[in-house]
């Protein structure tokens, strides 16, 4: 089949894009799981979609391709462009413009009239004339998308456009902001395509773009959640990236990190009989299943479970045993900004001011290891760290010792 | 379905071409220009070819079209449901979108379906009428190219000054809007919107900008891929410009380019990886790490 920059299935290219964007150091030879030709085609497509955001470097290990973006300087997520590359047939695009044009004046037309007008008014070459079932399917598809609506007139079904007045100008700023900051922002990016070019007034700091690639998965989970249906998800795991596992779940919440952009699904797993997390970028397919008869009960279980999450981990082997971590920090006179940070970043922990200079942070969570990266950001002010899991304390102090050695050999930092 | 050709680049580009055909202003050159501006890099061949060869019988040889109207597409259900859903968010309500248009639409999601679990707890007061008023005035100034007189408080002082606004910057982690603006002499200021006490707009001055490309600093990190450090670091630093090189099976070199004013933040982000990331240059950054470790050593009794 001839190469095309458009694709039928997004899942196939999702992994390539994620790799080019997140990692960016793999060469063609590293993609040995797929055929070299497949790699070349996918790379070429991504290059065509993203243009200036793609960077190429050649070194001894080979040619590296990566997506380099400073999200603070990029007003619109370039990864959305990949979601606008769905392939279609010649008849799809032609019928799209014919049908919407024919109904543009607000007319309500039957299938037969639509088919006749295509032949009489639009098509010069009869050999292109789509058969009845193609036209019927297109009308049906557009009704399901909400572009067209139907109404009965006697025994006939009449089609018309779902023209709803909307004040485009009044929505512009909201859509522009939401396309980057709200869930499923890709939909906002599609809306922005309706506007002529205009100046943007926003930029975004700490903006993680990768979630764009999981938009399709998120949309399907949202639909299951809104309709209170169970979902059959196909996913891989950290230890088995190429594996494919399935689980019947009830989707409850999406946990999004503002510090790395990762998105996790909190869902009730019927096999494990408890709530658990699934990373969205490791979910490959979602299938809507039967109605969930007890959604409130499951959500209560989910809320109880979530109370002791620091991030998304429920402990080693998801054992859900509670651990208590206590950190004391000591601040100088002019370091109240550190205490401010402690208060605003404490999440479900508590902060107590012990005296003028000393603050205590206490967290009771499933996985205290998960707090360590944040604890380390207070390096230089940590008076003490204790945890009911001695492994956590040991790791913290061993890591600190290793840091002392790395940056000057043992006592050199003294 | 979100991944659908009706939202696609090709449909948009062809709609742009047909718009000019309906208006009688289309030419070969205009097709090329529209494609260059709106389409993917390789669409420059495929779209004109499909139109010219009649694979998509939408355009005649004389650049007219059988269409009688400028092509438009109604909002889809997905778009309307998304618009309805975002209106639940107080940040979106700052823009006053006309929600009455969507009265009979079900939202695509409920905002409580999403948990931003590590967002700062002292976000902006979006529901505060004064904050809303300041936000709207600043946005209006940006749109209309007007200068602003702003009274705001910093840590110890109150300021009252004229500014030429450039943009509003939002951080999802901080949950705060900041105004990036310039003094009439061209000095850049970044003002937290929640610290603004009073705003007034001047007459229209036209769009003026002192905007300059920010100077970037470079820090080079050596990473040891243990405890999944590679993936964690790659994702964590994916919001800033970075380049990664594989040195061997477990060692990687990461080059980050950051703005000078973000140095302390980058420092603590690097520290969060502990010994799995070592700063190899520049010396000034290494010195910052050493300082923190030196301070930490003062708590020698810790853990002993």
**Number of residues written out for chain A:** 414
Q: In this predicted model, what pLDDT tens digit does every residue of A246-255 receive, in sequence order?
A: 999 999 999 9
The CATH architecture annotation of domain B129-204 reads Roll (2.30)
Q: With an 8 Å Cβ cutoff, are B72 and A104 in contact?
A: yes
In a domain, A168, yes or no: no
- Mean pLDDT (whole number) for B138-166: 93
Model confidence at B199: pLDDT above 90:
yes
In a domain? residue A216: yes
Nearest CB partner across the interface for A86, out of B8, B112, B139: B8
Q: Quote the pLDDT of residue A34.
A: 60
In a domain, A242, yes or no: yes
Residues A67 and A153 in one domain: no
The pLDDT tens digits of the residues spanning A247-303 come to 999 999 999 999 999 999 999 999 999 999 999 999 999 999 999 999 999 999 999
* Residue A345: per-residue pLDDT: 98
Strands A245-256, B188-192: pairing is: unpaired
Phi then psi for B130, rounded to 5 degrees? -70, -45
- What value does the mean pLDDT take over residues A179-191? 97
What is the reported pLDDT for B300?
Answer: 67
The reply to whether A254 touches chain B by the CB within 8 Å rule is yes
A101: helix, coil or strand? Answer: helix
pLDDT at A414: 45
- Would residue A297 count as lying in a domain? yes
Sign of CA dihedral B297, B301, B302, B304: positive
Alpha-carbon span A178 to B269, nearest angstrom: 27
Choice between A318 and A118, residue whose per-residue pLDDT is larger:
A118
Contacts of B228 in chain A (CB under 8 A): 238
* Interface membership of A126 toward B (CB under 8 Å): no
Residue B208's pLDDT is 62
Determine contact, residues A374/A320, Cβ cutoff 8 Å.
Answer: no
Residue B281 — pLDDT band, cuts 50, 70, 90? Answer: very high
Residues of chain A contacting B139 with CB distance shorter than 8 Å: 173, 201
Residue A257 lies in a domain: yes
Would an 8 Å CB–CB cutoff place A413 in contact with chain B?
yes
- What tens digit of pLDDT does each residue of B28-62 get? 999 999 999 989 988 999 999 999 999 999 999 99
Distance from CA of A133 to the nearest CA of B (A): 19
Q: Would you put residue A106 in left (φ > 0), alpha (ψ -120 to 50) or beta?
A: left
Q: In terms of pLDDT, which residue wins out, A384 or A319?
A: A384
Contact A171 B174 (CB under 8 A): no
Residues of chain A with pLDDT > 70: what percent?
Answer: 98
Residue B304 pLDDT > 70: no
Is A411's pLDDT higher than 60?
no
Q: Is A176 a domain residue?
A: no
Does residue A218 sit in the same domain as residue A247?
yes
Q: With contact defined as beta carbons under 8 Å apart, do B254 and B243 qualify?
A: yes
User: Residue B217: is its pLDDT beyond 90?
Assistant: yes
**Locate tokens 């919001």: which residue?**
B239
Pick from A3-12, A49-58, A159-168, A326-335: least confident: A49-58
Burial A319-347 (b: 16+ CB within 10 A, else e): eeeebebbbbbbbeeeeeebbebbebbbb
Single out the residue in A127, A142, A161 at which a domain terminates. A161
Output A163 or B83, whichever has higher pLDDT.
B83
Coarse DSSP helix, strand, coil percentages of chain A, rounded to the nearest 5 percent: 45, 25, 35
Residues with Cβ < 8 Å from B292, sequence gap 6 or more? A379, A380, B267, B271
Choose one of A58, A78, A98: the last residue of a domain. Answer: A78
Q: How far is CA B3 from the centre of its chain?
A: 22
| Residues spanned by the domain of A370 | 323-406
Give the mean pLDDT of chain A: 92
The whole-number pLDDT of residue B302 equals: 47
Q: Which one has a higher pLDDT value, A22 or B121?
A: B121
Confidence of residue A326 (pLDDT cuts 50, 70, 90): very high
Q: In terms of DSSP bridges, do strands A202-205 and A274-279 run parallel, antiparallel, or are they unpaired?
A: unpaired
Residue A283 lies in a domain: yes
* Contact call for residues A282 and A264 (beta carbons, < 8 A): no
Closest CA to B286 of A298, A111, A121, A408: A408
Q: Would you say the C-alpha torsion B245, A399, B236, B114 has a positive or negative sign?
A: positive
Residue with tokens 């999981």: A214
Residue A192 lies in a domain: no
Count of domains forming chain A: 4
Answer yes or no: are the C-beta atoms of A364 and A324 closer than 8 Å: yes
Q: CA-CA distance, A18 to A67, in Å (whole number)?
A: 9
Maximal C-alpha separation, chain A = 91
Do A327 and A378 have their domain in common? yes
- pLDDT at position B214 is 82
User: Measured between alpha carbons, how far is B276 from B255 in angstroms, rounded to an integer?
Assistant: 15
Q: Is the pLDDT of residue A412 over 60?
A: no
Please give the class, per CATH, of domain B216-297.
alpha beta
Contact B236 A259 (CB under 8 A): yes
Same domain, A302 and A215: yes
Contact A181 B275 (CB under 8 A): no
Q: What pLDDT, on a 0 to 100 scale, did the predictor assign at position A247? A: 98
Of residues B208 and B22, more confidently modeled: B22
């Amino acid at each position: 089949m001839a190469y095309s920059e458009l694709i039928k299935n997004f899942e196939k290219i999702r992994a390539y894009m994620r790799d080019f964007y997140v990692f960016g150091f793999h060469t063609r030879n590293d993609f040995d799981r797929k055929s070299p030709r497949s790699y070349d085609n996918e790379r070429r497509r991504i290059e065509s979609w993203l243009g200036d955001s793609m960077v190429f470097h050649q070194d001894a290990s080979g040619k590296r391709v990566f997506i380099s973006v400073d999200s603070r300087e990029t007003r619109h997520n370039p990864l959305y462009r990949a979601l606008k590359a769905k392939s279609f047939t010649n008849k799809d695009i032609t019928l799209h413009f014919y049908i919407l044009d024919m109904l543009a004046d607000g007319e309500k037309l039957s299938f037969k009239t639509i088919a006749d007008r295509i032949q009489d008014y639009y098509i010069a070459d009869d050999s292109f004339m789509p058969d009845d079932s193609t036209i019927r399917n297109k009308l049906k598809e557009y009704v399901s998308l909400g572009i067209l609506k139907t109404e009965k007139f006697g025994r006939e079904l009449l089609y018309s456009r779902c023209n709803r007045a909307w004040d485009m100008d009044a929505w512009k700023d909201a859509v522009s902001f939401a396309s980057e900051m709200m869930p499923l922002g890709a939909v906002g990016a599609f809306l922005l395509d309706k506007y002529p070019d205009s100046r943007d007034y926003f930029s975004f700091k700490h903006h993680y773009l990768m979630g764009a690639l999981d938009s399709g998965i998120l949309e399907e989970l949202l639909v299951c959640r809104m309709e209170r249906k169970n979902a059959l998800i196909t996913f891989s795991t950290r230890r088995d990236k190429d594996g494919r596992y399935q689980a019947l779940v009830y989707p409850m919440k999406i946990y999004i990190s503002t510090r790395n952009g990762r998105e996790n699904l909190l869902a009730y797993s019927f096999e494990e009989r408890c709530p658990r997390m699934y990373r969205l970028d490791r979910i490959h397919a979602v299938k809507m299943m039967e109605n969930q008869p007890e959604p409130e009960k499951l959500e209560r279980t989910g809320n109880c479970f979530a109370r002791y999450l620091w991030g998304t981990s429920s402990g080693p082997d998801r054992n859900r045993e509670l651990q208590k971590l206590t950190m004391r920090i000591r601040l100088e006179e002019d370091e109240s900004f550190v205490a401010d940070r402690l208060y605003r970043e404490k999440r479900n922990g508590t902060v107590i001011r012990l005296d003028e200079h000393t603050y205590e942070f206490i967290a009771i969570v499933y996985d205290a290891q998960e707090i360590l990266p944040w604890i380390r950001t207070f390096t230089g002010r940590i008076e003490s760290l204790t945890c009911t899991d001695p492994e956590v304390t040991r790791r913290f102090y061993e890591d600190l010792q290793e840091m002392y050695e790395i940056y000057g050999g043992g006592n050199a930092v003294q | 379905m979100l991944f659908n050709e009706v939202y696609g680049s090709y449909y948009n580009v062809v709609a742009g071409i047909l718009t000019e055909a309906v208006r009688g202003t289309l030419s070969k050159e205009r097709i090329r220009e529209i494609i260059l501006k709106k389409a993917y890099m390789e669409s420059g061949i495929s779209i004109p070819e499909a139109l010219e060869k009649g694979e998509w019988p939408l355009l005649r040889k004389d650049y007219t079209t059988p269409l009688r109207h400028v092509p438009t597409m109604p909002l889809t259900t997905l778009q309307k449901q998304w618009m309805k859903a975002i209106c639940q968010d107080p940040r979106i309500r700052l823009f006053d979108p006309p929600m009455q248009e969507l009265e009979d639409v079900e939202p695509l999601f409920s905002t409580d379906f999403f948990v931003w679990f590590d967002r700062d707890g002292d976000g902006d007061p979006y529901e505060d009428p004064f904050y809303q008023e300041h936000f709207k005035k600043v946005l209006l100034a940006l749109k209309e190219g007007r200068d602003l007189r702003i009274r705001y408080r910093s840590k110890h002082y109150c300021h009252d000054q004229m500014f030429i606004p450039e943009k509003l910057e939002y951080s999802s982690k901080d949950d705060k809007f900041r105004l990036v603006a310039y003094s009439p002499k061209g000095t850049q200021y970044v003002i937290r919107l929640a610290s603004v006490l009073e705003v007034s707009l001047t007459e229209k001055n036209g769009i003026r900008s002192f905007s300059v490309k920010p100077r970037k600093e470079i820090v080079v990190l050596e990473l040891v891929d243990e405890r999944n450090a590679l993936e964690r670091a790659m994702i964590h630093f994916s919001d800033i410009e970075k380049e990664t090189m594989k040195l061997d099976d477990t060692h990687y070199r990461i080059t980050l380019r950051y703005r000078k004013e973000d140095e302390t933040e980058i420092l603590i982000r690097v520290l969060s990886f502990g010994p799995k990331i070592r700063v190899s240059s520049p010396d000034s950054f290494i010195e910052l790490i050493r300082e923190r470790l030196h301070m930490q050593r003062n708590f020698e009794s810790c853990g002993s």
